[in-house]
Amino acid sequence: MNTGIPGENSDDIWARDIRERLAHDDLEIDGQLVSASNATWRCTLGGSLKCVYKPQQGERPLWDFPDGTLSGREVAAHHVDRMLGFDLIPPTIWRDDGPAGPGMCQLWVTEDPAHRLVDVVSADEVPPDWHQVLSAEDASGRPVALVHADDQRLQHMALLDAVINNGDRKGGHVITDDTGRVWAIDHGVSLASEPKLRTVLWGWAGESIHAQDVRRLQQLLTILEDDDRNTKDGTSVAELAAFVNADELVALTARVRALIDSGRYPFPHQEWPAIPWPVF
């Protein structure tokens, strides 16, 4: 995985190749994920590679997002993740020729449930060194706690969420695969211009952002403020502008600048729910 400012390495080459396959291989539907809020299909690409396909026409309208923009926001979030060099979001592309029309395609990631980094546990069984985000009661009235690991990959995810204004970081949107790699999925309600940050990853609220990650933010700000500037892998503001509007790009730039100026992870806002429901 990348640990510094993004450049061409084996991860970059792998992700680029996956994006090429997502964009061009034959797409065959395996089945629908019926628990998803919007139409979501698991597909096979080229007879072997699995992916998630979310067609634009299958989106459920939301009062606070423009119609038909949710699947595109998933692609935009992936672009921002690449600009930051975190590589947390699986390779994601926009595809015009999907079997149910235009939509996003994202590499399918299979979770290893034995290595979950976000959990709800009994209040007296919080793992050592984990962050407790919320105290509550279960259906039987027993005290429970929403917790997450003190893990740098989750810390990066929390910063990514603050940048993209993610309104739905559920515990189930944090996936550890069978190789131990951590992934962030489901970013359809991100990149709004109004503040909407809702996440289960509040463990670093108010803490200083590491100097290396401030440099990532500064690099992202430079790209956002210069339309002609690209990352080394070619990601540009123009690619973001294909999926989010001008006001949302202005708000994205302002959030990045505010994070740099404060040098700290944000606290929950008092004017809207800080944690998505359900948490998984």
Average pLDDT over residues 66-94: 96
- Residue 63 CB coordination number (10 Å): 4
Alpha-carbon distance of 92 to 106, in angstroms, equals 4
138-189 pLDDT, tens digit per residue, is: 888 999 999 999 999 999 999 999 999 999 999 999 999 999 999 999 999 9
The pLDDT value given to residue 103? 97
Q: Tokens 């999907």 label which residue?
A: 98
For 234: left if phi > 0, alpha if psi spans -120 to 50, otherwise beta; the answer is left
Let me know if 54 is exposed, middle or buried by CB neighbors in 10 A (0-12, 13-18, 19+).
Answer: buried
Domain boundaries, the chain: 10-111+151-262
The pLDDT value given to residue 228? 58
29-45 pLDDT, tens digit per residue, is: 999 988 888 899 999 99
The band of 234, judged by pLDDT with boundaries at 50, 70 and 90, is low
Cβ atoms of residues 221 and 257 within 8 Å: yes
The pLDDT value given to residue 30? 93
Q: Give the amino acid at 154.
A: L
Distances (CA, A) of 1 to 91, 119, 204, 223, 237: 14, 24, 22, 22, 24
pLDDT above 90 as % of the chain = 81
**Mean pLDDT over each residue of the chain, to the nearest integer:** 92
Q: Which residues of 80-105 are buried (b: 16+ CB within 10 A; e: fewer)?
A: bbbbbbbbbbbbbbbbeebeeeebbb
**Which segments of the chain does DSSP mark as H helices, in order?**
10-24, 70-84, 152-164, 211-225, 237-241, 246-262
- Residue 9 CB coordination number (10 Å): 12
The band of 8, judged by pLDDT with boundaries at 50, 70 and 90, is low
104-135 pLDDT, tens digit per residue, is: 999 999 999 899 999 999 999 999 999 999 99
The pLDDT value given to residue 270? 82
